Chain A
Amino acid sequence: MSRHWLPLAGFALLALLLGIGLTLNPREVPSPLVGKPAPAFRLPTLAEPDRRFGPEELRGRAWLLNVWASWCAPCLEEHPIIESLARSGVPVYGLNYKDRREAALAWLQKHGNPYVLSVVDDNGRVGIDYGVYGTPETYLIDRDGVIRFKHVGPLTPRVVERTLLPLLRSLGAS
């Protein structure tokens, strides 16, 4: 009698595994950069092209690096969340990714500028250093300059409340 249950048990196991598979997101790529020092860069700022900015200037405080572009529709979608984070005192810096300066400035003018400042990654090289593969992306960098968290795609209230804010609190920001 037990051999008749074997195929059923096999089917149940397969169904369970496939069911778990359905809950996973195959597009999500775990970043190897979490826990590593944030890659260094020295890029012109969006507002003042003559001024250059690098992450080492923010040693000693936790901050967010948000990769955005004016051509990126999901960036507009998450924009209110970025603004509310900035309002609540979280230092948010922008990496303006493969954009045109005028378009980027116009976008900030129109939708509001939550960033302390944005740096210009014209050719996407810094993006590659940070493992960017889709805008928007958000990195949480701690006071020692180590990436503690990375989120790909628009930030959601759920991610902010469940992950980002608790992490920020534990890192002693804001």
Chain B
Amino acid sequence: MTRDPRTAAHALARSGARPGVRSCSRIAGLCLVLAVVLAPGADARTPTGTGSTAPAERARSDRDPVSPGGTARPSAEDPALEARLVTVTRELRCLVCQNESIADSHAPLAVDMRNQIREQLRSGMSEREVIAFMVDRYGNFVRFRPPLTASTLALWFGPLLLLVGGLVALGVQLRRRAHRAEPPVPLHPDEAARLAALAADDTSGPVR
């Protein structure tokens, strides 16, 4: 008695269960594609280091760099210059702690670079010229937003390509499934006879 119902379940499973499993894996695949697409955009401009900065360090703000000697420089005298300094330094990666911008980092190199950029801006260099100056010395790696070149094409358009590819695959799959709305596979005559026998058995059996 216990063996037979299982066989019947098998027969049912053959016709019904698979599409469900399949669509599940499709949705999981789509989620993966979306995650890949969204992740770099969310990450690229987040200065990850700020969260871990000690309170004492944070209190000493970027506009107020302390030179190694310990003397604070009167830098807030020109707020417009400081605002420009912040916009430029947010674009530049600190080479020492590579996930922080020069604006956020307290590494000595970042302090030096901020001081140099402040002087450059004061002497009349444009933001673009300052960034070019740093790229000449440290390479495009120093920029948080890499320029569009042959080697960064995949970086810029890869995620979009993945998204489009995923959507196309999804569309094709949905369309194919709509066409495939055929009746379930009929039981083999042997299976049908067995099922009938089981049903007959059940009505006369002890279970009621």
Contact = CB atoms under 8 A, between A and B. Distances in A.
B10 to A, nearest CB: 20
Nearest to A28: B141
Interface residues on A, range: 10 to 19
A29 B113 CA distance: 17
Contact of B139 (A26, A29, A129): A29
B141 A33 contact: no
B105 to A, nearest CB: 11
A32 B138 contact: yes
Nearest to A10: B29
Interface in B77-110: 95-96, 98, 108-109
Interface stretch (A15-23, A52-60, A120-128): A120-128
A124 B139 contact: no
B24 to A, nearest CB: 13
Given A124-B109, A128-B112, A128-B116, A133 B139 contact: no
A4 B198 CA distance: 35
B116 A30 contact: no
B137 A130 contact: yes
B136 interface: yes
Contacts of B112: 123-125, 127-128
A31 B95 contact: no
B109 A32 contact: no
A80 interface: no
Contacts of B95: 29, 133-134
A128 B109 CA distance: 8
A131 B138 contact: yes
A128 B113 CA distance: 8
Interface residues of B, number: 17
Interface string A105-134: 000000000000000000111011111011
B132 to A, nearest CB: 11
A98 interface: yes
A32 B136 contact: yes
A133 B116 contact: no
A32 B139 contact: yes
A29 B141 contact: yes
A27 interface: yes
Contact of B138 (A7, A98, A133): A133
B155 to A, nearest CB: 14
Contact of A30 (B98, B108, B141): B141
Nearest to A129: B137
B38 interface: no
A7 B116 CA distance: 52
B148 interface: no
Contact of A32 (B25, B96, B108, B137): B137
A72 B139 CA distance: 24
A6 to B, nearest CB: 10
A33 B96 contact: no
B135 interface: yes
B125 to A, nearest CB: 14
Interface of B: 25, 68, 95-96, 98, 108-109, 112-113, 116, 135-141
28 contacts: A26-B98, A27-B98, A29-B139, A29-B141, A30-B139, A30-B141, A31-B138, A31-B139, A32-B135, A32-B136, A33-B137, A98-B68, A123-B112, A124-B108, A124-B109, A124-B112, A125-B112, A125-B116, A127-B112, A128-B109, A128-B113, A128-B137, A130-B137, A131-B137, A131-B138, A131-B139, A133-B96, A133-B138
